[in-house]
Amino acid sequence: MDLAELQEVADREAAASKAVRFRVCSAAGCLSSGALEVRSGLEDAVEREGLGENAQVCAVGCLRLCCEGPLVRVDPDGTLYERVAPDQAASIVATLKGGEPSARRGDADRPFFSLQRSIVLENSGTVEPERIESYIAAGGYRSLHEVVREMNPAEVVDLVTRSGLRGRGGAGYPTGLKWGMVAKNPGPHKFVVCNADEGDPGAFMDRTVLESDPHRVLEGMAIAAYAVGAEQGYIYVRGEYPLAIRRLETGIRQARRLGLLGTQIFESPFNFRVDLRIGAGAFVCGEETALIASIEGRRGVPRPRPPYPAASGLWGNPTLINNVETFANVPPIIRNGPEWFASIGTAKSKGTKVFALAGKVRHTGIVEVPMGTTLRTIVETMGGGAPDGGTIKAVQTGGPSGGCIPEDRLDTPVDYESLAQLGSIMGSGGMIVMDQGTNMVEIARFFIGFCMDESCGKCIPCRAGTVQLHRMLSRIIDGEAAEEDLEPLRALCEMVKAASLCGLGQSAPNPVLSTLRYFEDEYRQLLRPGAGAAAASAGR
């Protein structure tokens, strides 16, 4: 495969494209609501009406407004249909002959869509994720060609460094700096790993990217491999994501067939192979050293660092680990330049961030916004606020390791530093909205219970500390705690943060600490005078 052949594929795809395209969301959310039957209904109607010369039905990736699925968008005019039933499909096709649709029209210009800026999701809802030709027609694999044929590895690392891209997996470590460390470390073998073990409750950003645009992630991984000198890559993906796994398998097979993965990529000395590793559902395997152990075939538990994976990762070799969204940012950075990417976002947080908007909010789904967008814009303007006339009470970011941010702090811009100042974290992008009916102490117990169940048990502070925190919260909720129990609760949180082995244990108390910080009155309302002493005398 060379550039001319890549262009031939794109030209054939463009020539085969029909004037009208019915794009049916084929991501997991819409499929679970009947999108497959809607697609069949559209295909039957197009054939029955004799419109095959001018119209086609495409199974595309996520159209983002998950709460209104199944979704259908008709291009080129962009008409959106929501909650489409299979028996309404024919009426949508009939609009091409002047008919009236029985399906509900959606507002494609509502803030949920209009305030998004798509970089990672630019192909989502447009390309067909199970066809590499569709990705190539959208400009896919051209960035890889540019890198392999026109740049040396050091230039690629420098370009990514100048873009200001930071890891989207949670910690926000500078991506170019990490790539540079792996590139400089000697070793006969190096590896690139994509962390797709998305385990946060309410988070589905990575799943959406993998289901909607798998070749984007593969291309980003190949560029990274060229930059650091790796010839083998792994995608560690949750077993609970069967659709994403199937599309990755298809994508890898297609890319190998066209010579875009494998040996002598773009007729160069560069070789890169990608294999999948399926996670068995352990939350801790999202931590990079536990993930490495799992890929190696061992029990997935973290180990002390240093050495860091950049120096000693898979089988003791230098290993680059980034998550799905980080790799998906790379091809457009190569295509548009580092200055373009660095011009988006805030001074220290560049580019955009993908969030899974869920919970007590009217418009749930996937949003991608520039860094620096306020939480209020995301939740109230784009998300439409709380449903049924309710009011927003708090927003939880960062999954079980994040914190609960109260409504009066929603004007805070979304960036790594601002969220940390509020006692939360960016995390991988889960965003759960809570309304006035939410009990914040119950929320704290839910998340600490999640961390307790998912603790790998290797270190005592996490293994025993989360159990004790859960018991203390339960005593408060059951009315068995008193004023003097709050300070030991805080102290135990700080001990678990300071003494746990890995980041998961270190951040587990965040929901408790943030709710104590902003919603202490709700804890106090549950306390019972003298209850602590009574419980102590009773041996509880």
Residues 455-471 have pLDDT tens digits of 999 999 999 999 999 99
Task: Quote the pLDDT of residue 539.
Answer: 43
Q: Amino acid letter at 336?
A: N
- What is 139-343's CATH number? 3.40.50.11540
Q: Which helix (H) or strand (E) holds 69?
A: none
Q: Does domain 440-526 have CATH number 3.30.930.10?
A: no
Contact indicator for 480, 526 with CB cutoff of 8 Å: no
Confidence of residue 536 (pLDDT cuts 50, 70, 90): very low
Residues 42-90 have pLDDT tens digits of 999 999 999 999 999 999 999 999 999 999 999 999 999 999 999 999 9
Task: Quote the pLDDT of residue 529.
Answer: 73
Whether 428 has a pLDDT exceeding 80, the answer reads no
Whether 538 has a pLDDT exceeding 50, the answer reads no
Residue 310 phi, psi (nearest 5):
-60, -25
Q: What is the mean pLDDT of residues 221-248?
A: 97
Confidence of residue 281 (pLDDT cuts 50, 70, 90): confident
Q: Does domain 18-110 have CATH number 3.40.50.10610?
A: no
What is the Cα–Cα distance from 285 to 304, expressed in whole angstroms? Answer: 15
Q: Do the first three CATH levels of 139-343 and 440-526 match, i.e. the same topology? A: no
- The alpha carbon of residue 514 and the mean position of all alpha carbons in its chain are separated, in whole angstroms, by 23
| Residue boundaries of the structural domains of the chain | 18-110, 139-343, 352-435, 440-526
Task: Quote the pLDDT of residue 342.
Answer: 98
Would you give the DSSP letter of residue 369?
E
Task: Quote the pLDDT of residue 1.
Answer: 87
Strands 403-406 and 20-25: unpaired
Q: What is the mean pLDDT of residues 6-29?
A: 97
pLDDT cut 90: percent of the chain above it: 91
Whether 370 has a pLDDT exceeding 90, the answer reads yes
In sequence order, the β-bridge partners of residue 104 are: 82
- The alpha carbon of residue 185 and the mean position of all alpha carbons in its chain are separated, in whole angstroms, by 29
DSSP H stretches of helix in 138-239: 142-150, 153-163, 175-184, 205-212, 214-228
Counts of helices then strands in the chain (DSSP H, E): 24, 14
Nearest in space to 512 (alpha carbons), one of 481, 480, 469, 468:
469
Confidence of residue 187 (pLDDT cuts 50, 70, 90): confident
Confidence of residue 170 (pLDDT cuts 50, 70, 90): confident
Q: What is the mean pLDDT of residues 495-518?
A: 94
Residues 294-319 have pLDDT tens digits of 999 999 999 999 999 999 999 999 99
Higher-confidence residue: 363 or 540? 363
Task: Quote the pLDDT of residue 533.
Answer: 47
What average pLDDT does the structure give for the chain? 95
Whether 267 has a pLDDT exceeding 70, the answer reads yes
- What is 352-435's CATH number? 3.10.20.600
Q: What is the mean pLDDT of residues 12-29?
A: 97
Task: Quote the pLDDT of residue 171.
Answer: 78
Confidence of residue 445 (pLDDT cuts 50, 70, 90): very high
pLDDT cut 70: percent of the chain above it: 98
Q: What is the mean pLDDT of residues 268-277?
A: 98
